[in-house]
Amino acid sequence: MNNTYSGVPVGTLSGDAVQFLDTTLRDGEQAPGVSLSPDEKASIARALDRAQVDYIEAGSACTGPGERETIKRVTSLGLDATITSFARGVQGDVDLALDCDVDGITLVVPASERHIESKVGTTRDGVRETTADLVAYAKDHGLWVEVIGEDGSRASAEFLESLARVSHDAGADRFCFADTVGHTSPEHTYDVVSRLADLGPTSTHTHDDLGLAMANVHASLAAGADLVHTTVNGIGERAGNVALEEVAIALHHCYDVETVKLDELYSLAQTVAYATGIALPPNKAVVGENAFTHESGIHTDGTLKDDAMYEPYSPETVGRERRLVLGKHAGRAGVKAALDEHGVEATDDEVTAVVQRVKELGDKGKRVTDADLLAFAEDVQGREHDRRVELLDLTAASGGGIPTASVRLRVEGEERVASGTGSGPVDAAVKAVREALGPDADAQLDDYHVDAITGGTDAVVTVEVAMSRGDRRVSVAASDADITRASVEAMVDALDRLLASKPAVPNVSSADD
């Protein structure tokens, strides 16, 4: 194995221009179970453009009429990014891309013997000849052209060099090293990309089957590549592609290389997660729920004293906020900060008592929500919670027609009844609650999470919601065998807490009085 890369100072990237070609709408959509509508692709494309991504691969024009209409939808948005279509090594694909009014193509041709002989049934000379002809044809029609040697990481380096040389001579704007099956090491990547970069502008396309997608990107950049193929959240075939947000923040933080608008990254990640139905893992770098969340007493105390104590960069950098959560690892500083956030004043002894109850609940494997914390404080301080909103009755139906729901609430002592329809019984019930509350329901649902806590068809589920109203935010959990009831109870309890004024605080005398 060539170990040249091991001695290369990756820091030489500092100050160099690195661009992104995002393929979420093409390679990302090839993740199992993902199928994006034209509206969803347009929404993601707009989000990518807001983040100032340089190139957006909108799809594969050769896929079919529906895909071409979707690509046309993206090209009609008037985005600043260069919009491309994936094209195989046949002229018909280039013509279909031209019909979609794209700015360019990513022209994919076979590079490894496996792909040249077994998949396409041609020869190396045939690949070089076809590539030169198609590049010249696309350039004659005004397209930006990138040639990708498919399965390049398993191809002969000498053949890749010859293919890149032919591509550049024919007018290609760049040549891409593709680790199509996530096969290779950073050392091999560095060796091959170094040779390709000597011939002209070079890109890199990496997959994460060995968990080396990010390492291979950095090896490529150190070797002279200056454009990275990415997908948002790292979605894609099999183990996925390298994640746009991770490459962007790593280049910014470690090498002072600016690529995209970083404070758009979290919004972009959420847009893609919602459209694809692929939830963000809580421990995912940059955009995962836990990335800027602290529970440990030591970490919380340190973070309260110095924001950067346990974070490599501020959450605001990527459009996020820091969260301090409570659990069995919570300490006094974190609990006191959480009480202060909800306007609850407490003596040292009261804080100690609340900490103990928080730990006891955490030891049972339960999430400690804001509602739990406030209930503990009320109990310790001998206060009763004055409910503003209470669920009295709920009826929901979804079989055989449009899902409907009706609710009966007590609001400030007054009973209110309302109904609603929705895409499902939970959606219908939530709309009914909002209808019953009227203007008081102006809170935003920030997070909705469901866990099954028992097995079988009679499983009990826990629904946790986080809602905000103005500058106040509260999390609440509710459990029930009926997911609709658990969802509504959690939401009603959250609204009740948000609508309440700051809790009345009893007079507290100091030990010196």
* Per-domain residue ranges of the chain: 4-276, 293-380, 389-499
Domain 293-380: CATH architecture, name and number where available: Orthogonal Bundle (1.10)
Task: Look at residue 251 and tell me whether its pLDDT is greater than 70.
Answer: yes
pLDDT of residue 6: 53
Q: Establish whether domains 4-276 and 389-499 are of one fold.
A: no
Cα distance between residue 85 and residue 367, in whole Å: 46
Task: Look at residue 48 and tell me whether its pLDDT is greater than 50.
Answer: yes
pLDDT of residue 323: 67
pLDDT of residue 177: 98
pLDDT band at 346 (very low <50, low <70, confident <90, very high): confident
Query: Residue 205: which of 332, 26, 344 has the closest Cα?
Result: 26
Average pLDDT (151-158) is 95
pLDDT band at 71 (very low <50, low <70, confident <90, very high): very high
- 148 against 296, higher pLDDT: 148
Under 8 Å between Cβ of 205 and 256: no
Average pLDDT (380-395) is 87
pLDDT of residue 137: 98
pLDDT of residue 307: 61
For the chain, the straight-line distance linking the first and the last C-alpha, in angstroms and rounded, comes to: 77
Sign of CA dihedral 301, 305, 309, 314: positive
* C-alpha dihedral, 56 to 62 to 68 to 70, nearest 10°: -50
Residue 395 token pair: 């009826």
Model confidence over 83-140: pLDDT tens digits? 999 999 999 999 999 999 999 999 999 999 899 988 888 999 999 999 999 999 999 9
Eight-state DSSP code of residue 324: E
* Range in 62-66, 132-136, 400-404 the model is least confident about: 400-404
Task: Look at residue 333 and tell me whether its pLDDT is greater than 90.
Answer: no
- Return the H-helix or E-strand segment holding 191: helix 186-197
Q: Report the percent of the chain where pLDDT is more than 90.
A: 56
- Helices assigned H by DSSP within 15-140: 38-50, 65-75, 91-99, 113, 124-140
Average pLDDT (198-221) is 97
- 70 against 345, higher pLDDT: 70
pLDDT of residue 432: 92
pLDDT band at 1 (very low <50, low <70, confident <90, very high): very low
Average pLDDT (222-229) is 96
Determine how many CB atoms are found less than 10 A away from the CB of residue 340.
11
The per-residue b/e assignment along 56-87, b for 16 or more CB within 10 angstroms, e otherwise, is bbbbbbbbeeebbebbbbbbeeebebbbbbbb
Under 8 Å between Cβ of 370 and 469: no
SS3 21: strand
Model confidence over 406-444: pLDDT tens digits? 999 999 889 999 999 988 888 899 899 999 988 877 888
The CATH class that applies to domain 389-499 reads alpha beta
pLDDT of residue 128: 96
pLDDT of residue 119: 85
SS3 207: strand
Under 8 Å between Cβ of 247 and 318: no
Distance of CA 58 to the CA centre of its chain: 18
Average pLDDT (299-321) is 69
pLDDT band at 160 (very low <50, low <70, confident <90, very high): very high
Determine how many CB atoms are found less than 10 A away from the CB of residue 453.
11
Cα distance between residue 464 and residue 469, in whole Å: 17
Average pLDDT (183-192) is 96
DSSP string, 137-167: HHHHTT-EEEEEEETGGGS-HHHHHHHHHHH
- 368 against 490, higher pLDDT: 490
Cα distance between residue 228 and residue 242, in whole Å: 9
Q: Report the percent of the chain where pLDDT is more than 70.
A: 88
Residue 36: phi and psi, rounded to 5, are: -95, 135
Superfamily grouping for domain 4-276? Aldolase class I (3.20.20.70)
Rounded to a whole number of angstroms, the CA Rg of the chain reads 28
Task: Look at residue 468 and tell me whether its pLDDT is greater than 90.
Answer: no
Cα distance between residue 255 and residue 221, in whole Å: 11
Confidence (pTM):
0.77
Strands (E), 347-460: 389-397, 404-411, 414-421, 444-452
Task: Look at residue 4 and tell me whether its pLDDT is greater than 70.
Answer: no
Cα distance between residue 385 and residue 468, in whole Å: 19
* Range in 220-229, 333-342, 440-449, 504-513 the model is least confident about: 504-513
Mean pLDDT value across the chain: 86
Task: Look at residue 509 and tell me whether its pLDDT is greater than 50.
Answer: no
pLDDT of residue 2: 42
pLDDT of residue 505: 37
pLDDT band at 357 (very low <50, low <70, confident <90, very high): confident
pLDDT of residue 12: 53
